[in-house]
Structure 1
Amino acid sequence: MSAPNLLVLATGGTIAGIAGSATRHDYRPGQIAIEDWLQQVAEFGLSAKLTGKQIANIGSEDIGPPIWTKLHREITAAMADDAIDGIVVTHGTDTAEETAFLLDLTLPATKPVVLVGAMRPADVVGSDGMRNFVNAVWVAGDAGASGRGVLVVMGDRVLGARDVRKVRTRGTDDAFRGFPRGGIALVTPSALEWFGNPWREGEGARFSYSEDLPEVPILYVAAGIEADLVDRILGENAKGIIVAGAGEGNMPDGVRRRLAEYARDGVVVVRASRVDEGLVDREEGEDDANRFVAARALNPQKSRILLKLLLSEGVSDLETIQAAFDNP
């Protein structure tokens, strides 16, 4: 079997970060160019043939529509190129789950697309970036990765874009988890084991990609917040809002009543949860009366991505929107 040809799209992040000291905590993300990174990788003698392209070299807190658009264009072109077998995207960990989910919803599930990052910069004790990258190369070059949508490789785990969540600010072993599904494979530089068969074989993109995604704010519920906060966050032109509710998407009664007023005027209100794991199920009586949508298994940041795409396609029917959240 011939060695896979993989395109590596670099955006920066901790995996390309430099601290300047092996024991320093703070560091500068996005300092290593992809050409230099691939020169280091070449020392490991991997069978895959790697071609790199620098999309950006920034911390992922600064990634948004301009970078998403560049990534989407490059990956779309790579999927149409018979000479390319898979795509690896190096990315900061802070917003990796959002980029992965956006790409997962707007790309066909044909060739493997794998996001990878690091929790520690390249020059500190215990840096995890190179191991994660080698693991990602293995996954992206494996035929079994096709038909699973966009994947994220971190800490010897392979996670689906729908499920992946960053759950720790530090540490390398379990900084990322999957909910409601856990890992869908385990990978090391010497082994890869999939759990189950591909679930998206032959699927096209679920949504078209738009370079002009509408803004969707997130309202974070905390004890004692007042209804006028809703007015300040929504402004005049917002067509949707995500509520990072307490518990199972709960909020103070005054906030609920104000949001229901906006919902009756056509603003899409999605109840998600600020809790790390757990479903927000639809409450048929109350959600029907308020015209709210339940986020189900999606956290607030992923709910925002999905609602942006729905609104960009002109979807306003609440049953259609709820169905999209039921099965993202």
Structure 2
Amino acid sequence: MRDASILVLATGGTIAGEAGSAVRADYRPGQIDIADFLAAFAQLGVPACLTGRQIANIGSEDISVELWRELHAALHEAMNDPAIDAVIVTHGTDTAEETAFLLDLTLPTEKPVVLVGAMRAADAVGSDGLRNFANAVRVAADPQASGRGVLLVMGDQVLSARDARKARTGGTSAFAGFPRGPVALATPSALDWLQPPHRSGEPARFVFPNSFPYVPVLFAYAAMGAAEVERLRNAGAAGLVLAGFGSGNMPDAVRTALTKAAAAGVPVVRATRVDEGLVDREPQDDASRFVAARALGPAKARILLQLLIASGVTDPADIQAAFDRR
């Protein structure tokens, strides 16, 4: 049986980062070319048929719509290439959950697509990059990885893009899955699936948009007033996501301003700034025309709302149905 043919699309990040010292805390992401990275990986002796392509070599805090578009185009091409069995994307961890979720919503599910990164630079003591990548290769090469949407492999866990989130600023176990937890546990020598595929044979849910509408995230804080809502509306916000208190709560002044925005046709989604938890609908949502983010945090809620607006979906009930589906 032949090894799976895996395309590796590299975008940089800590997995390609170097500090110039094994013990320095600071480092520069995106320093190692994918050809050099794959040459180092080959020394591990992991059976794999890998082809690399450099899309970018940046820290993921600098990800842009243009790079997303280029990455999506390369993935779309790979989906239609019978010589490619799966795709791995190397990516910085800061925005990995957003890129993974965007790709999850705009790609079909026939072939595995796996994002992987690292929390320690390649030349740091205890670097996790090659181990995470070896785990990603094992996942991408497994036929059971298809039909699950885009996956994120970090810290010996396999997370669905719909659930993955960066939960810690440091340490090799920086990612968590909410609300469903990991779909599999992976090591370079073993892979155990914990959940069945949930998207077998699905086409892409959204067309990748020609342009992304302006949808800012509004962070709630104590003694907050309505001025920031008005500022964002005046700046041309096509939709608004609130990172609210608790289960999506906000001061009365902010609620009044957001209700006016929703009445004027600007979709408003209530998410939470809290690390974990569902935001359910509340009695006021019907009158205010608000949408409850459910399990999506503010960053992912923004991505989904952008895709919905770009697709012409602006009715609160239809937007709520899309958030409930996640």
Same fold flag (TM > 0.5): yes
Match of 1:76 in 2: 76
How many angstroms apart in 1 are the aligned matches of 2:13 and 2:216?
A: 24
Question: Secondary structure at 1:276's aligned position in 2?
Answer: coil
Q: Which amino acid aligns with 1:235?
A: N
Q: Which amino acid aligns with 1:228?
A: A
How many angstroms apart in 2 are the aligned matches of 1:311 and 1:229?
A: 22
How many angstroms apart in 1 are the aligned matches of 2:235 and 2:174?
A: 38
How many angstroms apart in 2 are the aligned matches of 1:192 and 1:78?
A: 24
Q: How do 1:166-245 and structure 2 match up within 5 A?
A: 166-172=166-172, 174-245=173-244
Normalised TM-score (structure 2)? 0.99
Q: How do 1:106-145 and structure 2 match up within 5 A?
A: 106-145=106-145
Match of 2:280 in 1: 281
Is the Cα contact below 8 Å between 2:35 and 2:52 reproduced in 1? yes
Question: Secondary structure at 2:318's aligned position in 1?
Answer: helix
Question: Secondary structure at 1:326's aligned position in 2?
Answer: helix
Name structure 1 gaps, 5 residues minimum.
Answer: none
Is the Cα contact below 8 Å between 2:6 and 2:84 reproduced in 1? yes
Q: Which amino acid aligns with 1:118?
A: A
Mapped pair 1:263 → 2:258: no
Q: Deviations over 1:85-118 (max 9, x none)?
A: 0000000000000000000000001100000000
How many angstroms apart in 2 are the aligned matches of 1:13 and 1:192?
A: 25
Match of 2:305 in 1: 307
Match of 1:324 in 2: 322
Is the Cα contact below 8 Å between 2:8 and 2:90 reproduced in 1? yes
How many angstroms apart in 2 are the aligned matches of 1:59 and 1:51?
A: 22
Mapped pair 1:290 → 2:276: no
Cα displacement (A) at 1:236: 4.1
Cα displacement (A) at 1:317: 1.4
Cα displacement (A) at 1:211: 3.2
How many angstroms apart in 1 are the aligned matches of 2:181 and 2:208?
A: 27
How many angstroms apart in 2 are the aligned matches of 1:80 and 1:124?
A: 38
Q: Which amino acid aligns with 2:247?
A: E
Is the Cα contact below 8 Å between 2:178 and 2:295 reproduced in 1? yes
Cα displacement (A) at 1:181: 0.6
How many angstroms apart in 2 are the aligned matches of 1:249 and 1:197?
A: 31
How many angstroms apart in 1 are the aligned matches of 2:266 and 2:52?
A: 42
Name structure 2 gaps, 5 residues minimum.
Answer: none
Q: Percent identity?
A: 64
How many angstroms apart in 2 are the aligned matches of 1:260 and 1:112?
A: 41
Q: Deviations over 1:32-72 (max 9, x none)?
A: 00000011011122222000000000000000211110111
Match of 1:249 in 2: 248
Question: Secondary structure at 1:47's aligned position in 2?
Answer: coil
Is the Cα contact below 8 Å between 1:218 and 1:241 reproduced in 2? yes
Match of 1:5 in 2: 5
State how many pairs are aligned: 326
Is the Cα contact below 8 Å between 2:233 and 2:261 reproduced in 1? no
Cα displacement (A) at 1:223: 0.4
Q: How do 1:87-98 and structure 2 match up within 5 A?
A: 87-98=87-98
Q: Which amino acid aligns with 1:156?
A: D
